[in-house]
Amino acid sequence: MQVKDIEPADEITTIEGLPATVGKDLHPMQQAWLDHDVSQCGYCQPGQIMAAVAKVKQAHAEGREITDADLDELRNICRCGTYSRIREAMKAGAEDM
């Protein structure tokens, strides 16, 4: 979905609102990010986490778990090069979603 496709009645979840979607202090994906010490400068991390959650939800909606092919589809840029930790955290976070 692109921003231009958002309708007035659509609900938007931000990184700050993500924990409320699971009724906890942290969403499982946020906890996985901490457990895997993913962040360096942190600039890209909210977008990385939101993309990871969306990708896992997409896979679950299709009745399956995420695969390496799903991880390869993520196009968020991290100038610090945290990609290997992102992949590990995403797999771990997906297990608790």
Contact positions toward ligand FES, by CB under 6 A? 39-45, 78-80, 82
User: In the bound complex, what is the minimum distance in angstroms from residue 77's beta carbon to ligand FES?
Assistant: 7
Q: Quick one: 43 or 84, whose CB is closer to ligand FES?
A: 43
User: In the bound complex, what is the minimum distance in angstroms from residue 84's beta carbon to ligand FES?
Assistant: 12
User: In the bound complex, what is the minimum distance in angstroms from residue 8's beta carbon to ligand FES?
Assistant: 33
Q: Quick one: 18 or 49, whose CB is closer to ligand FES?
A: 49
Q: Which of 69, 60, 73, 66 is nearest to 90 (CA)?
A: 66
DSSP symbol at 36: T
Give phi and psi for 15, each to the nearest 5. -60, -35
Q: Quick one: 15 or 22, whose CB is closer to ligand FES?
A: 15
User: In the bound complex, what is the minimum distance in angstroms from residue 9's beta carbon to ligand FES?
Assistant: 33
Q: What is the b/e burial string over 65-84, where b = at least 16 CB atoms within 10 angstroms of the residue's CB?
A: ebeeebbeebeeebeeebee
The residue type of 5 is D
